Chains A and B, each alone.
Chain A
Amino acid sequence: MILVLIEHADNKVKKAGLEALTIAKQLAVKTSSEVGAIVIGSIEDPESLGNYGADQCFLIDHPNLQQFDTSNYTQVVAQIAKDKGADIVILSHTSKGKALVGRLAIKLESDVLSGVSQFVGVEDGTLLLKKPVFAGKGIASFKLNAKKAVFTLLGNAVQPQTFDGSCTVITREVSVAPPREKVVKVDRATGEVPLPEAEIVVSAGRGMKGPENWGIIEDLAKELGATTACSRPVADMDWRPHHEHVGQTGIAISPNLYIAAGISGAIQHLAGVNSSKNIVVINKDPEAPFFKAADYGVVGDLFEVVPRLTEAIRKFKNNQ
């Protein structure tokens, strides 16, 4: 069995969870096995995971699992993996997935890889996976034991696929100790899609001149249904919140579209964004290094270009 730990929030499955299911299904088809979805906590309509490739869904709820604790989450995932004799466990490359993957690999004594961008295939009992390395300056292929592996999948590595399937929902009783990592408060910006999951990201840098000018970036993001991001100096100067900082020392993202306005394209910035599928760069300096990494470039003053782009998108959507 191929197991997936399903990411969810506010009782809804996150896109990252569906992406992991999609890869699990591809793997299951190649190895003639089944897909098991693990849900810790609760989600609406768990049966519907069948439409994304799950054959079985294991629901685990316990007061001591209300808050995230790496030992407890590892324990319950490992328990199901052992009961089911699972070959592979897939996690999302999110804050939870990254916190769990190392622990789980030790607990299951399995091969392990994090931040997988591509599932290449299964051959003679080995699982072939690729991931970006050296801040996106290279891609490395890895061989893992296809009978014993744990990996995390990067956001947007695949588009979730739907299948004609149904899934059996099984509620599992577990005994869990009180968490040793006691979460006393959660502080999270609500409303926006978190950066690592966003399909479209609108980002801006020092070319904005000051935090008071961000309205045009927010308008563009709103029109596109995008999440906003920023370069590091902008976060360091507190023009924008730290969780928006992308790049080598910030968050690494791989959206389908990345729009950068007033960002020069320093190598450490590119490190976090160059896996984006399409990059649009708006900069008044035609020599800005970012243009070399871009698919589409606009040489111009962002204070004119950005509102014009927002308007063009609005017009386009009205004509659709």
Chain B
Amino acid sequence: MNILVCISKTPETTAPIDFTPDGGALKTEGMNYILNPYDEWYALVRALELKEANGGQVHVINVGPSSNDIVIRKALAIGAEEAYRVDCDPKDAWMVAAEIHAFAKDKNYDIIFTGKETLDYSGSLVPGMLAELLQIPFISYANHLEQSDNTLICHREIEGGYEEVEVSTPVVISAAKGLAEQRIPNMRGIMMAKRKPLHVLEAQCVAPKQDLIHYEKPPARTGVQLIDPENMDELVRLLHEEAKVI
């Protein structure tokens, strides 16, 4: 079973986020980036488990500039055999999906894994786009996956529960929490990652379809109003009269 895992990078989850005064750009100075947790913890690890059970290879792909190599090496350290980086700075999900499609269309991967979303823009767009471009089924927000021969049995997360879905390969699967347990790369993995191939590919460079024009900070809360713990009638009054929510 050959598997492709799409990996993206995202600002570290506790990083403070700020924008230039005109709202034109994100301030990236000193920003730490990590491998997108859904891609690393769930998609990649489940892919490696399937490979360990069935043989085959796990490849990772990232569409991004050379500064992404450091997070790509981490995926190799966790256990992927080979990495591909399509050299461009994508402006939107369409640019990413078009590049991955161009790469994967004649490679016969059995499964293409993605995360359910990248934590920066929470787009959740790339996997569905890929599935449509490749004309193959798509299991979104998978939080459980078992395999029997060419059939995969997945749990697709839905509001308040899940759907159990049977699907044949090839398929695109986006990974949600629960699909696997996080693996920490060990020293051997980190050393081996340095010698594994990281292929840099030329981009197709399609035009973006989304135009991000402005950033702002969310409206600040006006500050907490403290209420006497003995007097919950007062809280109820405020929720009714001031907040108008009950």
- By beta carbon, the residue of chain A nearest B234 is A312
Contact pick for A138, options B138, B157, B210, B217, CB 8 Å: B217
Complex: A100 Cα to B178 Cα, angstroms: 22
Complex: A243 Cα to B178 Cα, angstroms: 11
Contact pick for A103, options B11, B131, B162, CB 8 Å: B131
- CB-CB under 8 A from A204, the residues of chain B are none
- Evaluate contact between B236 and A313: CB separation under 8 angstroms: yes
Complex: A276 Cα to B225 Cα, angstroms: 16
A78 to chain B, nearest CB (A): 10
Contact pick for B243, options A131, A145, A190, A295, CB 8 Å: A295
- CB-CB under 8 A from B146, the residues of chain A are none
- Evaluate contact between B129 and A106: CB separation under 8 angstroms: yes
With A252-B122, A299-B229, A313-B246 already in contact, the answer to whether A184 and B166 are too (CB < 8 A) is: yes
- CB-CB under 8 A from B90, the residues of chain A are none
Residue from A99, A142, A187, A301 having most chain B Cβ neighbours under 10 A: A99
With A106-B129, A134-B120 already in contact, the answer to whether A295 and B221 are too (CB < 8 A) is: yes
Q: Does B163 contact A (CB under 8 A)?
A: yes
- CB-CB under 8 A from B123, the residues of chain A are 114-115
- Evaluate contact between B227 and A298: CB separation under 8 angstroms: yes
- Evaluate contact between B161 and A186: CB separation under 8 angstroms: yes
- Evaluate contact between A106 and B235: CB separation under 8 angstroms: no
- Evaluate contact between A296 and B215: CB separation under 8 angstroms: no
Bitwise interface map of B from 33 to 49 toward A, beta carbon under 8 Å scored 1, else 0 = 00001100000000000
Q: Does A291 contact B (CB under 8 A)?
A: yes
Instruction: Give the interface SS of chain B, mostly helix, strand, loop or mixed.
Output: mixed
| Interface size band for A | 35 or more
When A and B form their complex, what is the total count of cross-chain residue pairs whose Cβ atoms lie within 8 Å? 266
- Evaluate contact between B215 and A140: CB separation under 8 angstroms: yes
- By beta carbon, the residue of chain B nearest A292 is B224
- CB-CB under 8 A from B93, the residues of chain A are 102, 112
- By beta carbon, the residue of chain A nearest B23 is A141
A174 to chain B, nearest CB (A): 18
- Evaluate contact between B165 and A182: CB separation under 8 angstroms: yes
Interface residues of B in 125-163 (CB under 8 A from A): 125-133, 135, 137-141, 143, 153, 156-163
- Evaluate contact between A311 and B13: CB separation under 8 angstroms: no
- Evaluate contact between B137 and A181: CB separation under 8 angstroms: yes
- By beta carbon, the residue of chain A nearest B229 is A300
B interface residues, tally (CB under 8 Å): 79
Complex: A111 Cα to B224 Cα, angstroms: 40
- By beta carbon, the residue of chain B nearest A9 is B159
Q: Does B51 contact A (CB under 8 A)?
A: no
- Evaluate contact between B218 and A135: CB separation under 8 angstroms: no
B155 to chain A, nearest CB (A): 8
- CB-CB under 8 A from B141, the residues of chain A are 95, 98-99
With A134-B17, A140-B214 already in contact, the answer to whether A183 and B163 are too (CB < 8 A) is: yes
With A249-B37, A300-B229 already in contact, the answer to whether A137 and B210 are too (CB < 8 A) is: no
Interface residues of A in 134-155 (CB under 8 A from B): 134-145
* Pairs A–B under 8 Å by Cβ, sample size 8: A114-B123, A138-B17, A139-B216, A142-B213, A181-B138, A181-B165, A192-B160, A243-B159
Beyond known contacts A102-B130, A133-B121, A297-B225: 17 more, CB 8 A cutoff: A70-B128, A70-B138, A95-B141, A95-B158, A104-B132, A107-B132, A112-B93, A135-B13, A137-B217, A180-B137, A183-B165, A195-B160, A248-B119, A275-B218, A308-B230, A312-B232, A316-B246
Binding site for A on B (CB under 8 A): 11, 13-14, 16-17, 19, 26, 37-38, 93-94, 97, 119-133, 135, 137-141, 143, 153, 156-168, 177-178, 209-218, 221-222, 224-227, 229-230, 232-233, 235-240, 243, 245-246
Across the A-B interface, the 3 shortest Cβ-Cβ residue pairs: A102-B128, A300-B229, A194-B159
